[in-house]
Amino acid sequence: MLGEGAFVKALFPTNEHPRRPGLLHICYCLAVARPVALVAYTSSRPWPAGTPIPLGVRIFGKVEAASLNQLPFVLYLNRLARLPMTPKWFPDITLPSQGVVATAPEGLRNQLLEAVSELVRRQRELVQQTGP
């Protein structure tokens, strides 16, 4: 079910059009306050070797990603979107799965919540927020 801790298919807005549905991504759902979900961006583009990992960025390697039914990916807790929970933004929301590909276990959810809380406390200006 689409809720906190879900990795879900969403049409994450692009930087060029921050208020319109964008490209289909698997996003991480940080919070739900129906009818809106706060999701974080993910990318399957590998993190550049030798590049420091900034606050708010979490890399999921092969084993950890596979445990979440995914290929390796990078989670950007510093790139968020507040999206209406409608088919316009979540194209599979009317399906039984609601587009959810995995749900983070409680320990991981707590780690990610702590990471985003720390990011907001220490460097709030680094958090990009988009959505309608």
What pLDDT digit, counting tens, does each position of 67-113 carry?
Answer: 999 999 999 999 999 999 999 999 999 999 999 999 999 999 999 99
The model carries a pTM of: 0.93
Can you tell me which residue has the tokens 């739900």? 32
At residue 95, the pLDDT reads 96
Q: What does the DSSP assignment read for 26-78?
A: EEEEEEEETTEEEEEEEE-SPPPTTPPPPTTEEEE-HHHHHTTTS-SEEEEEE
At residue 24, the pLDDT reads 94
Domain ranges of the chain: 6-130
